[in-house]
Amino acid sequence: MLSITTKPSPAGAVAHAASSDVMLQTSDLSRIYRVGRNTVTALDGVDLSIRRGEFVAIMGPSGCGKSTLLNLLGGLDRPSRGSVQLDGHNLSAKDDEAMAALRRRTLGFIFQRHDLFPFLTARENVEFPLLLAGICSTDRRLQSDLMLAQVGLSDRADYLPDELSGGQQQRVGIARALINHPSVLLADEPTGNLDSATASDVLDAMTVLVRQAGLTLVMVTHSAEDASRADRIVRLRDGRIVDDGGDNNGS
Amino acid sequence: MALSYAWRLVSRNLRRTLTYLFGLALAVGLFSGVLFFVDASASQMTRIALAPVKLDLVAHATTPSVDVVKVAQSIAAQRGIKAAQPVYTTDFTSAGKPGGSQMSHAGRMFAMNPSYFQTFDIVQLSAGRFSAGGAVVSEGIINALSLKLGDTIQISFSGISRTVQLPITGITNVASADALFASTSGAENTLITDVVLVDASWFNANLGPSLAAFAASQPGGTNGLITYDPAIHIKIDRSLLPADPTRAALQTEALRRQVERASSGQLKATDNLSAAFTTVKSDVLSAKILFIFLGLPGVALAAYLSKFAAELFAEAQRRELSLLRTRGATPRQITAIVAISSLMLAILGSAFGLVIGVLSLFVAAGAQGTAALNPLAAQFDWQLLGSSALISFIAGLALTFLAAFLPTFGALRREIAQERRTVQRVPAQPFWKRAYLDLISLVAAAIILFVTQQNGGFKPAANESAAIALSFYIFLAPFFAWLGLTLLVLRLLEWVLTRSGGPVALIFRRLFGDIGEVAGKSIARRARQVGAATTVIALTLSFGISLTLFQQTYSHEKQLDSQYVVGSDIRFTPALNSAQTPAFASKLQLAGVKGVTAVARDPQALVGSEQNTVYGIDVPSFRQVAYLPDSFFIDGAAQRTIDAMTNHTSDYALGNASQALNALNSTPNGVIISVEQAQKYNIRVGDTVLMQLYSATTRKYVNVQAIAVGMFIYFPTSSQDSDFILNRSFMLGQAGTTAVDYFLLKTDGQAHVTALADQLAAQYQQVMPVVIQTTTTVIKTEESSLTSLNLAGLSAMEQLYTVLVASIGLTVFLLAMINERRREFGAMRALGATLGHLRRFIFAEAVTIGGVSLLLGGLIGILLAQMLVLLLGVIFTIPANGLAWPGLELLLLAGVVILGMLGSALLSARRLTGLRVVEALREL
């Protein structure tokens, strides 16, 4: 069961999840950017709760604040107003270094342009979060090989990103995001740079793994088809949630 | 529109503009600094070369009837002439005491006005004064005829029957007055030791008319003697001469013609400055080549840095211009914008660079401590720098065209022509790699070295050869070596880095923790960029280190050369008329003097039919005082030496000072001989050497039989004529005299030399006429202007640039790498990397680039310095025996460079603190 609240809620519907089930919760979340002499409100008072294990797709036109919301949920950016609670921790209260540690332990990120490190092989890219966590090299190698096998890239472990196709690169990105067993996976248009067939494959791989691990997945996408795989679709416009989407599975 | 947009492009991106301006200014600054230094040094060289010339022009009357007094007055009033004095010359047939039996040889009489001595600094009176009714007599006559002040001298002339008698009112030393003896033919001046100076009025009243009449009756001359030569000695206004020796020579030549024109057909003028100008012209050319070649690597590196700085922002600029293009700007408008903004940058950067160049000159002047190089000094000639400033400015424009305009313009054209490709193209190998330019350059350097060696280019200057000529092409060897080494190091470094990912990662993990492992892999897989950065900084360091080493070796060599010429630290030469015995040495044993030795010298000795200079030394005291490195001596008895002498090669068996001096000491009539003379006279060790010594007492030659006991290549005391060395006691005994010629003094440290020389001069000023030479005065007067060059200034300038380019270079490279990888760092942060992780990552890269640069820079620097010393050693008499190591200076340089690098790493790491993850990930 999911619950989305906006303030003021265009739909007027307010739902609350049981607090123990809530993995991510925002309250009056706002982000205002200063551009020259003007200010731009990217997010404006968003209240959103996402349950543990829920797959939420965030949709909306360009510039509506989807990525801003995702960045705030992942602690990559700081809100101008309001707060984000991640598994009960208030992200605003944490400094940059504590946030980095939290991201390392709890969050996984998948980027639209993969953002693999070009100087590391597929395996080394996947290992990177484990290395930051101080895991020994033998364990790192074992786990990363396993993860690469899960995304179907065992035979590409020693390839550099430049030597992989776009789809393969994104699979490496998914493996890297999942290697540290995060509670929440944040994906920013993970198929945005892929053709439809590849996108479908990548998304299949990602959802299977996420469902198997029971992770919470928040995915920003433009694609209605991709979003249709989610438990819930949240629609944004002009920095506000215009549609909580209800339960996608039930719709 | 283009102008206003170009201005906005420049003014609104201050960081970008300043970075580029700084890079360009650094390159232009170093380039102009080197050129300014060359200009200022060249002017100094002209000044140094002209300093010993005491008489600028001599105009001889073509007929005895010319009224030189009147003509001198008209010449003195001419433009560019400072003074003109009439001087009458006549040769006398003999001079002596009235009624005495002992007469001098033929000599020369000069008649001049008393004001001559204030105008010209040619004749130095060692005693007495110049008086209208008396004569000033040379030390040679005084010594030979045992005359003294107050005695009367009687002089006879050819062509007139009567003799003249004059009281001796003064004594002069004419050893350095060769300008007086300049001939109208321009042939080498003959130094005459028997000279009498008289007052011109007395001369004209008593001798002039008779001599003029006789000269008029003998148009063909009288047995080569000067009967009557009225002349005008002219001093030109040297302050009006251009610093450039070529132009100064032209101006002097014009003045000479102007003088002749003053009294058409009646005067023939000789220009004494032309020889100095000829020497200095070739020296200036060599110095210019030397300075430019020494400075060129620095300029190339600074230029590369400026190109790199331009590329740093090329992408951002390209994006801005692309945006303009999408908004409808035509390719022509965009080209205009790029051109105008580049021109603005070029003008600003070049102007800034010129300021840096002048400041560099100031740094150089600080080291040199002379006003001629100090732009803040009142007498600094700014006109000197005009053409160099213009050249530097144009170079700045050209550099901007190449570094800023062309890359941006090219990128835009490509952008306009085709869509950006998403698939990354594998970059082709650069041209130099495909063409093996590194190996070709090294081979070229080796060929030049080989050819130079085959042509005898590295052989030390022979004792008798005074002129030193440097060929332009030998400077190409270090240039090609530097270029070849640069590219070879780059190739090898890339190769090593690419293959050493594993070990580097392992080492870095130990040094910098787990993130070090990633940094190690990053370095290995970015070998090209890291290699380029490392190579540029390594070469900057090598350039600084090689120049520091070379400069130290150069100064050391200069010092050794001067010690060799002086013989020790100080040479004390009493005047001929106050010659001393060896016992006088004890009087020179002042505080701070470690030892004194007396040396006898016979410049008129005969070996065979030729005149040679023979020296007499007291071995025990000489070896304590004189500069006697083992490298001066060869084993004359060794078969290898005999073979070398037979085959006329220089492959002699090495000897040592102790062996040769012991042999001389134990053989009273022993002689040690320069290998050059031994070869010339076919003398071997053990041979009897017959020579004739000239006895100053009897004025006759004495036959002497000596035995050759050793050989040397160089012998201290003179670079020109120290060929035969006898035991002093033997020599004086044979010649029947007790008088020695000079004393060598060893001080207890170079710091005391000048003070002791001053003390001796003050002490003996009123006692006897003496000449005191030190290593410092010899450097100033006896060496060529090329060896008198002060490289310290250039070295100081280059060291400053080494520190600047190494530190700024590392900062630029690190910042560039951070800039290029902002997305990567953003992703790392998103994945949970702390700032500490990123700082260690950057620090690992900085340590790699800095550490490897220092190591390689040191090695290449030493190699290049060795090569420079090998090539330029030819300008010194004594070949360099390896490099002179300025330990403290090198440590200081390395320390400052390391500090600079540390600062760069910290500055770059600080940049990461402000990294905004979201913005970094959003970047294109």
State mean pLDDT over B214-228: 70
Say what the pLDDT of residue A29 is: 92
pTM of the model: 0.68
Q: Give whole-number Cα distances, B521 to A206, B508, B635, in Å.
A: 29, 9, 60
Q: Which of A21-25, B656-660, B794-798 bottoms out in mean pLDDT, i.e. has the lowest? A: B794-798
Confidence check: pLDDT of B111 > 50: yes
**Highest mean pLDDT, choosing among B293-297, B402-406, B537-541:** B537-541
Interface test with B, best of A131, A169, A181 (most B CBs within 10 A): A131
User: Which residues of chain A neighbour B921 with C-beta distances below 8 Å?
Assistant: 76, 111, 115
Which structure tokens are listed for B195?
A: 């000279």
Q: Check residue A251 and give its pLDDT.
A: 37
Between B296 and B271, where is the model more confident? Answer: B271
Contacts of A118 in chain B (CB under 8 A): 525, 824
**Spatial separation of the C-alpha atoms in residues B450 and B372, rounded to whole Å:** 39
Helix (H) and strand (E) counts in chain A: 7, 11
Q: Is the predicted pLDDT of residue B470 greater than 70, yes or no? A: no
- With beta carbons less than 8 A apart as the criterion, state whether B278 and B785 touch: no
Helix ranges, chain A (H): 66-73, 96-106, 122-132, 137-150, 166-178, 196-213, 224-227
Please give the Cα distance from B226 to B192 (Å, whole number).
13
**Does the pLDDT value for residue B706 go beyond 90?**
yes
Residue A241 and residue A27 in contact, taking contact as beta carbons nearer than 8 Å? no
Per-window interface: B 780-799 vs A, CB < 8 A: none
pLDDT of A142 over the 90 cut = yes
CB-based contact B313:B812 (threshold 8 Å): no
CB contact under 8 A, A115 and B918: no
For the four alpha carbons of B766, B770, B774 and B777, in that order, the dihedral sign comes to positive
**Inter-chain residue contact A132 with B514, CB threshold 8 Å:** yes
Torsion of CA B200, B204, B208, B212, to 10 degrees: 110
Closest CA of chain B from A109, distance in Å: 7
User: What pLDDT digit, counting tens, does each position of B73-100 carry?
Assistant: 888 888 888 888 899 988 888 888 887 7
Chain A residues touching B517 at Cβ < 8 A:
131
**Is pLDDT of A58 > 90?**
yes
pLDDT tier for residue A9 given thresholds of 50, 70 and 90: very low
Q: Are B810 and B533 in contact (CB under 8 A)?
A: yes
CA distance B374 to B359: 9
User: Which chain B residue lies closest to A134 (C-alpha atoms)?
Assistant: B514
For B328: left if phi > 0, alpha if psi spans -120 to 50, otherwise beta; the answer is left
* pLDDT, tens only, B677-702: 888 888 889 999 999 988 767 767 88
B378 near A CB under 8 A: no
Please tell me the predicted confidence (pLDDT) of residue B879.
Answer: 67
Whether pLDDT at B269 is above 90? no
Q: Is the pLDDT score of B417 beyond 60? A: no
Q: State the maximum Cα–Cα separation within chain B, in Å, rounded to a whole number.
A: 117
Q: How confident is the model at residue B499 (pLDDT cuts 50, 70, 90)?
A: confident
What residues in B contact A160, CB-CB < 8 Å?
Answer: 525
* Alpha-carbon distance values, B591 to B746, B754, B759 (Å): 11, 14, 11
Instruction: Report d(CA B849, CA B854) in Å as an integer.
Output: 9
DSSP character string of B2-50: HHHHHHHHHHS-HHHHHHHHHHHHHHHHHHHHHHHHHHHHHHHHHHHHH
Q: What's the CA gap between A172 and A150, in Å, rounded?
A: 10
State how far the Cα of A233 lies from the Cα of A221, in Å rounded to an integer. 10
Q: When comparing pLDDT for B290 and B115, which is higher? A: B115
User: Are B9 and B341 in contact, with CB atoms under 8 Å apart?
Assistant: yes
Q: Poorest-confidence range of A241-245, B750-754, B759-763, B824-828?
A: B750-754
* Residue B601 near residue B711 (C-beta atoms within 8 A): no
Residue B342 Cα distances to B132, B304, B405, B604, angstroms: 75, 17, 6, 72
Residue B517 forms contact with A (CB below 8 Å): yes
8 Å CB contact of A104 and B921: no
B829/A100 touch (CB, cutoff 8 Å), yes or no: yes
Chain B residue closest to A186 (CA)?
A: B830
Q: Is the pLDDT of residue B495 over 60?
A: yes
Cα–Cα distance, B605 to B722 (Å, whole number): 12
- Lookup: tokens for B366: 């600080």
Interface touch B824/A118, C-beta < 8 Å: yes
The pLDDT of residue A50 is: 92
Using a CB-CB distance cutoff of 8 angstroms, which residues of chain A are in contact with residue B835?
96-97, 100
Tokens 């008393």, residue located: B114
Give pLDDT, residue B725: 92
The distance of B2 to chain A (nearest Cα, Å) reads: 24
Task: Provide the shortest C-alpha distance from residue B823 to chain A (in Å).
Answer: 7
Structure tokens at B346: 């070029």
Count CA within 13 A, CB hemisphere, residue B423: 5
Tell me the average pLDDT across B558-562: 77
Band (pLDDT 50/70/90 cuts) for residue B782 is: very low
- Go through B819-828 and write b for each residue having 16 or more CB atoms within 10 A of its CB, e for each that does not: eebbbbbbbb
What integer pLDDT is reported at residue B787 of this predicted model? 53
Report pLDDT digits (tens) over A86-125: 988 888 888 888 888 888 889 998 888 878 998 899 999 9
pLDDT at B920 over 70: yes
What is residue B415's predicted lDDT score, i.e. its pLDDT? 60
For residue B831, the chain A residue with the least C-alpha distance is A104
- CB of B97 within 8 Å of a chain A CB? The answer is no
- In whole numbers, what is the pLDDT of chain B averaged over residues? 78
Reduced 3-state DSSP string for B63-96: CCCCCHHHHHHHHHCCCCEEEEEEEEEEEEEEEE
Contact B832 A160 (CB under 8 A): no
What is residue A114's DSSP assignment? Answer: -
pLDDT tens-digit profile of B133-151?
Answer: 889 988 878 877 778 888 8
For residue range A204-226, what is the model confidence (pLDDT) as tens digits? Answer: 888 888 888 889 999 999 888 88
Inform me whether the pLDDT recorded for B664 exceeds 90. Answer: yes
The residue among B188, B2, B227, B220 whose CA lies nearest residue B92 is B227
Residue percentage of chain A with pLDDT more than 70: 89
Name the residue among A119, A129, A180 with its Cβ closest to that of B525.
A119
A163-182: pLDDT as tens digits = 998 889 988 998 999 898 89
Residue B478: helix, strand or coil by DSSP?
Answer: helix
B917 in A contact zone (CB under 8 Å): yes
The SS3 call for residue B514 is helix
Q: Do A118 and B917 touch (CB under 8 A)?
A: no
Neighbours of B699 (CB within 10 A): 11
Chain A positions contacting chain B at CB under 8 Å are 71, 74, 76-77, 96-97, 100-101, 103-105, 107, 109, 111, 115, 117-120, 124, 128-129, 131-134, 160, 162, 176, 180
Could you read off the pLDDT of A61-83 as tens digits, one per residue? 888 888 899 999 998 888 999 99
Q: Chain B interface, mutation test: which of A119, A120, A176, most B Cβ atoms within 10 Å? A: A119
Decide if B834 and A76 are in contact by the 8 Å CB cutoff.
Answer: no
Query: What stretches of B577-634 adopt beta strand conformation (E)?
Result: 593-607, 610-617, 633-634
The pLDDT of residue B290? 67
B421: pLDDT strictly greater than 60: no
Q: Which two tokens stand for residue B18?
A: 């300043």
What's residue B224's pLDDT?
62
Q: Above 70 in pLDDT, residue A8?
A: no
pLDDT for res A141? 93
Reported as a single tens digit per residue, the pLDDT across B619-633 is: 999 988 888 888 888
DSSP per-residue string spanning B631-676: GGEE-TTSHHHHHHHHHT-S-PPB--HHHHHHHHHH-TTEEEEEHH
d(C-alpha B74, C-alpha B61), whole Å: 14
Indicate whether B520 pLDDT > 80. yes
Higher pLDDT: B461 or B686? It is B686
- Interhelix angle B14-50/B331-368, nearest 10 degrees: 40
Please name which of B173, B616, B580 lies closest in space to residue B588, comparing C-alpha atoms. Answer: B580
Q: How many CB atoms lie under 10 A from the CB of residue B765?
A: 10
Q: How far apart are CA B389 and CA B414, in angstroms?
A: 36
Q: CA–CA distance from B161 to each of B92, B156, B213, B221 (Å)?
A: 12, 8, 13, 18
Put simply, the answer to whether B834 touches A119 (Cβ < 8 Å) is no
Nearest to A24 by CA among A141, A143, A98, A107: A107
B748 Cβ contact list (under 8 Å, min separation 6): B592, B593, B594
Neighbours of B319 (CB within 10 A): 12
Residues from chain B contacting residue A189 (CB–CB below 8 Å) = none
More confident residue, B630 or A158: A158
Q: What letter would DSSP give residue B161? A: S
B522 touches A at CB < 8 Å: yes
Residue A149 has pLDDT above 50, yes or no: yes
Q: How many helices (H) and strands (E) does chain B have?
A: 30, 20
User: Residue type for B728, please?
Assistant: R
Mean pLDDT of B627-646: 85
DSSP string, B329-364: --HHHHHHHHHHHHHHHHHHHHHHHHHHHHHHHHHH
Residues of chain A neighbouring B924 (CB-CB closer than 8 A): none
Distances (CA, A) of B901 to A64, B43, B530, B845, B918: 46, 38, 15, 11, 30
Residue B598's pLDDT band, with cuts at 50, 70 and 90, is: very high
Q: In what order do the strands lie in the sheet with A22-35?
A: A3-6, A38-51, A22-35, A81-86, A89-90
- As beta bridge partners, residue B773 has B571
What's the pLDDT score for residue A7?
Answer: 32
For chains A and B, CB pairs below 8 A equal: 80
pLDDT at B247: 78
Most distant CA pair in chain A: distance in Å? 54
Task: Please indicate whether, in this complex, the C-beta atoms of B832 and A117 are within 8 angstroms of each other.
Answer: no
| Of the partner residues B522, B525, B918, the one whose CB lies closest to the CB of residue A71 | B918
Distance, C-alpha B152 to centroid of its chain: 50
Is B918's Cβ below 8 Å from some Cβ in A? yes
Using the predicted structure, report yes or no on whether residue B567 has a pLDDT greater than 60. yes
B823 touches chain A (CB under 8 A): yes
Q: Which of B173-182, B241-250, B626-635, B726-735 has the lowest mean pLDDT?
A: B173-182
Give me the residue from B518, B833, B834 closest to A120, CB to CB: B518
d(CA B56, CA B233): 8
Q: Nearest by CB to B835, which of A97, A105, A120?
A: A97
Q: Give the best residue of A112, A115, A174 to mutate against chain B (max B CB count within 10 A).
A: A115
> Between chains, do B521 and A134 touch, taking CB under 8 Å as contact?
no
Contact list in A for residue B508 (CB cut-off 8 A) is none
Distance CA B907, CA B813 (A): 12
In this predicted structure, which of A90-104, B168-182, B282-296, B826-840 has the lowest mean pLDDT?
B282-296
Share of chain B above pLDDT 70, in %: 80
Q: Which two tokens stand for residue B855?
A: 């190591």
CA A170/CA A202 separation, integer angstroms: 7
Q: Who contacts B644 (Cβ-Cβ below 8 Å, separation ≥6)?
A: B650, B651, B652, B653
Tell me the per-residue pLDDT of B718-769, one tens digit each, with 9 for 90 and over: 656 678 999 999 999 998 888 888 899 998 877 778 888 888 888 876 666 6
B724 near B681, Cβ under 8 Å?
no
Chain-chain contact of B525 with A76 (C-beta, under 8 angstroms): no
CB contact at 8 A, B106 and B95: no
Query: Which of B831, B845, B915 would best serve as a mutation to test chain A binding (most A beta carbons within 10 A)?
Result: B831
B347-358: per-residue pLDDT in tens? 888 888 888 888
Residue B831: which of A119, A129, A162 has the nearest Cβ? A129
> Which of the two residues, B338 and B872, has the higher pLDDT score?
B338
- B914 contacts in chain A (CB < 8 Å): none
CA atoms of B264 and B271, how far apart (whole Å): 17
Please state the φ and ψ torsions of residue B163, each to the nearest 5 degrees: -100, 165
Residue B183 predicted with pLDDT over 70: no
Tokens of B859: 């090695």
Mean pLDDT score of chain A:
83
Is residue B176's pLDDT more than 70?
no
Residue percentage of chain B with pLDDT more than 90? 7
Query: What is the complex's ipTM, to 2 decimals?
Result: 0.86
Residue B395, pLDDT > 60, answer yes
